[in-house]
Chains A and B, each alone.
Chain A
Amino acid sequence: MKAVDASVSFYKREGEIMTHDEFRKASKSSPEIAQRKLFDEYFSYVYTIVFSRLRSCAGREDIEECVGDIFADVYMCYDEQKELSGDLSGFIGMVARRKSSDVYRKLTRNSFGRISIDDEEAEQYEAPDNTEDTIEKKELRSKLINCIERLGEPDSTIILQKYFFMRSSREIAEHVSLTPEAVRTRCSRALKKLREKLTEMNISL
């Protein structure tokens, strides 16, 4: 990994976000190194987008395959000399959202019945005008993530990994360098704190 970082340091300082042109230039000299850099930089972002979309219907293997597919799509876009402009992370985020939505539709295709648009029952399935609902959800998400972040490290990470990414205490323990028992204890306390904060804000989950 260090060798990779050194090879790309001629055009990037650590922490800076790569641009389309920079990735193209790096790809010309060594596609694999450029791809590795891109992957390392955007992996967490892409993985979270995919997990956020598919956590209710897909297994880990499906999610991993979707992530691999998304990065392959991104590499191909550069190979095909497509005109790309704007923020690289925005482009990758768009590819990730589209691909994960495709996978979501594929996986849930059989769980929804199909109704003709002319059917009388179609009205009750019609998407309501949910602007208010969307704003409320966004506010709720923002408050919730604020409350989790206020727990501080490693509690916020433990709560997210346990209740959003659905990881076991053993897996979390490896990530936060604690024992599984310590993770369980901290998780229990952090959860209690989080509940108190949410109650103060009149939020019930």
Chain B
Amino acid sequence: MNDRDIDLKALENADDETIRRIAAGCPASDEEKERMFAMSRKIYNSRTNEREYNNEAEVSGVDIYRKPIWHKLAAVAAAMLIVTGVTAGGVLLSRNKGDHITVSSETKISTSPFGDLSDYRVRIMTAAIAPSVFEPNADKKLALTEALNSAEWTEISKDTSLPDGESKQIYFKKGDNTFSLIIYPDDTIYYNSGSDSKRYQLDEKALNAINNAVSTNRNPAISLSPLSFPPLTQLIQYGRTLLNPKRPQNLLRAQK
């Protein structure tokens, strides 16, 4: 549109009266009108057909369905066959019962190399409280003995060099059976029963559980009660060795 033209945009979206006046000059040719009429008829017919199709799809009334008689007979025969099969199977099973079935009542319970530790009494000594000891509460003791029972114990050479740093000692007693475990900073464990000694490496999960049970001591350290495991003199002596972990052989000699 150039400057000589005019913009009749003002007539857009006009009111009804204006529309009727503009419609007087409607420019659509007969050909265009025919095209639009045909289009309107086509749309109308397609919608009508669609609606009729939908109406035809609707159903009414009740159609009674009668099964053929042979269906009933076949169903009865099949039911009898199933009942016979189930009965025969049950009889056969009951005759052979016990002959081929072996029920294992054995359940493997994991234990430490020193047996099940769950019914041992436990006392713990750390460098912080030595020569005193403390008895862990029931939960801590359970966690500790379960961790030791289920751990993977790998025996290593007793001559493996001892690391620097503080160690912890755990005493076990059940009747006359006593032994101790020393947990070194390098996460190796020294087993000492007086008559026998070994050194082990444990898996990381077990070590974490043991360290958690040993290091968490909410109870104050108690003085050693007059129990015979191990004698007070040995504990005091061993408490001193904790400050110098390179001397465990002294303790062994003292215990002997």
Residues of A within 8 A of B (CB): 32, 35-36, 39-40, 43-45, 47-49, 52-53, 55-56, 64-65, 67-72, 75-76, 79, 93, 137-138, 140-142, 144-145, 149, 156-157, 159-161, 163-165, 167, 171-172, 174-175, 188, 191, 194-195, 205
Asked if A75 contacts B6 (CB within 8 A), the reply is no
The interface centre, meaning the residue of B6, B9, B39 with most chain A CB atoms within 10 A of its CB, is B6
The contact of B32 among A32, A64, A163, by CB within 8 Å, is A64
Closest CB in chain B relative to A104 CB, distance in Å: 9
Complexed CA–CA distance, A137 and B13 (Å): 11
**Which secondary structure dominates chain A's binding surface?**
helix
Residues of A within 8 A of B106 (CB): none
In chain A, what residue has the closest Cβ to B37?
A39
Interface residues of B in 8-41 (CB under 8 A from A): 8-29, 32-33, 35-41
Closest CB in chain A relative to B32 CB, distance in Å: 7
- Asked if B253 is at the interface of the complex by the 8 Å CB criterion, the answer is no
Closest CB in chain A relative to B11 CB, distance in Å: 6
In chain B, what residue has the closest Cβ to A174?
B29
The contact of B10 among A45, A93, A144, A175, by CB within 8 Å, is A144
Asked if A43 contacts B11 (CB within 8 A), the reply is no
Asked if A53 contacts B39 (CB within 8 A), the reply is no
Asked if A160 contacts B44 (CB within 8 A), the reply is no
Closest CB in chain A relative to B12 CB, distance in Å: 6
Residues of B within 8 A of A70 (CB): 40
Residues of A within 8 A of B27 (CB): 160-161, 165, 167, 171-172, 175
Closest CB in chain B relative to A138 CB, distance in Å: 6
Complexed CA–CA distance, A40 and B7 (Å): 29
Residues of A within 8 A of B28 (CB): 43-44, 47
Given contacts A40-B33, A68-B39, A175-B27, 12 further A-B contacts (CB under 8 A): A35-B40, A45-B20, A67-B40, A69-B43, A76-B48, A137-B10, A141-B14, A161-B25, A163-B6, A205-B7, A205-B8, A205-B10
Asked if B10 contacts A156 (CB within 8 A), the reply is no
Q: A141-B15, A172-B27 are in contact. Are A65 and B39 (CB under 8 A)?
A: yes
Residues of B within 8 A of A76 (CB): 44, 47-48
Asked if B16 contacts A93 (CB within 8 A), the reply is yes
Asked if A141 contacts B32 (CB within 8 A), the reply is no
Complexed CA–CA distance, A164 and B5 (Å): 11
Residues of A within 8 A of B42 (CB): 68
Closest CB in chain B relative to A61 CB, distance in Å: 10
- Asked if B4 is at the interface of the complex by the 8 Å CB criterion, the answer is yes
Nearest 8 Cβ contacts at the A-B interface: A68-B39, A71-B40, A72-B43, A44-B26, A160-B25, A48-B23, A44-B23, A68-B40
Asked if B35 contacts A64 (CB within 8 A), the reply is yes
Q: A43-B33, A71-B40 are in contact. Are A48 and B47 (CB under 8 A)?
A: no
Q: A43-B33, A205-B10 are in contact. Are A145 and B25 (CB under 8 A)?
A: no
Complexed CA–CA distance, A188 and B6 (Å): 11
Asked if A52 contacts B12 (CB within 8 A), the reply is yes
Closest CB in chain B relative to A198 CB, distance in Å: 8
Q: A68-B39, A76-B47 are in contact. Are A141 and B29 (CB under 8 A)?
A: no
